[in-house]
């Protein structure tokens, strides 16, 4: 392939959404929600949305988006997420002053007054940019399956544990895992839950090492599906720590 042809093949056109301002993007989202889902409850202004009314909420939304699509973003100290245009103008003016190395207070006030709305929404002044993406990671998807047989086995196993019938509980959860492996594969929260129950059964029977091994497997699945900062993962780690403590592995 000739070099000129290969360049044209590899080169892709710039995505139109990358050049949109936040206001224009929000209006497109409103139109899409109304047209496709008949949803008309979104406010006209984007900062009236509850999840965007404060920098803390915006940071939570950014974190959820990054986790959903598999991005790792560099959290910069100058990542301004304010809704107040006056604060944004001051921040942008101070950034311009730092670039020109003329950090004069009087001049900074003058620049803050002259920063327009178009300057605020320029790409280089937006809080999140493509250069902030530092890494990608795979996102594991799982489809919840409501199988009557599996749910019945899990309920029977729970009832057997409450009744101190550990052998029957072990059989129920083992059969549930076998069925889940055939339907959903290993990456399922139900599989992780059943494995954790088996670990609990081994722990109550005094087999601490097997309980630690199974609990660790359960945590690996939970982390891949729910994230390391999920309350379920934290609870699983607390159980694992209790198992280690019982084995005197301090």
CA distance 83 to 96: 20
Which of 212, 223, 218 lies closest to 191, judged by CA?
A: 218
What would the pLDDT profile of 20-61 be if each residue is shown by its tens digit? 777 788 888 888 888 988 888 888 877 777 777 777 788 888
Beta-bridge partners for 73? 133
CA distances from 43 to 50, 51, 117, 177 (A): 10, 12, 20, 46
pTM comes to: 0.63
What would the pLDDT profile of 177-208 be if each residue is shown by its tens digit? 999 998 888 888 999 999 999 999 999 988 88
Q: What percent of the chain has pLDDT over 70?
A: 77
pLDDT at site 18: 62
User: How far apart, in Å, do the first and last CA atoms of the chain sit?
Assistant: 63
Domain residue spans of the chain? 16-73, 85-136, 148-246
On whether the CB atoms of residues 120 and 84 are closer than 8 A, the answer is: no
Longest dimension (CA), the chain: 79
State the average pLDDT for the chain. 79
Structure tokens at 14: 């710039």
* CA-derived radius of gyration, the chain: 27
pLDDT at site 212: 93
From the options 1.25.40.10, 3.40.50.720, 3.40.50.880, 1.10.10.60, give the CATH code of 148-246: 1.25.40.10
Which of 225, 138, 149 lies closest to 188, judged by CA?
A: 225
CA distance 157 to 60: 38
Report residues of the chain scoring pLDDT below 70: 1-19, 83-86, 88, 95-124, 250
């Amino acid at each position: 392939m000739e070099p000129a042809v290969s360049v044209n093949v590899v080169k892709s056109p710039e995505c139109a959404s990358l050049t949109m301002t936040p206001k224009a993007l929000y209006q497109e989202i409103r139109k899409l929600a109304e047209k496709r889902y008949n949803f008309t409850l979104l406010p006209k202004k984007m900062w009236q949305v509850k999840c965007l009314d404060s920098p803390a909420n915006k940071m939570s939304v950014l974190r959820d988006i990054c986790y959903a699509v598999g991005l790792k973003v560099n959290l910069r100290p100058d990542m301004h997420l304010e809704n107040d245009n006056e604060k944004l103008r001051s921040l942008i003016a101070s950034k311009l002053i730092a670039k020109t190395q003329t950090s004069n207070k009087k001049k900074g006030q003058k620049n803050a007054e002259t920063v327009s709305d178009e300057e605020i929404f320029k790409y280089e002044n937006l809080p999140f940019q493509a250069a902030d993406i530092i890494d990608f990671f795979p996102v594991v998807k799982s489809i919840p399956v409501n199988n009557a047989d599996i749910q019945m086995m899990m309920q029977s196993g729970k009832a057997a544990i409450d009744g101190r019938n550990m052998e029957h509980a072990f059989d129920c959860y083992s059969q549930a895992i076998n069925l889940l492996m055939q339907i959903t594969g290993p990456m399922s929260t139900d599989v992780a839950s059943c494995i954790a129950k088996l670990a609990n059964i081994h722990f109550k029977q005094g087999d601490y090492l097997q309980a630690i091994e199974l609990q660790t497997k359960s945590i690996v699945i939970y982390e891949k599906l729910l994230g390391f900062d999920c309350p379920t993962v934290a609870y699983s780690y607390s159980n694992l720590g209790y198992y280690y403590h019982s084995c005197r592995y301090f």
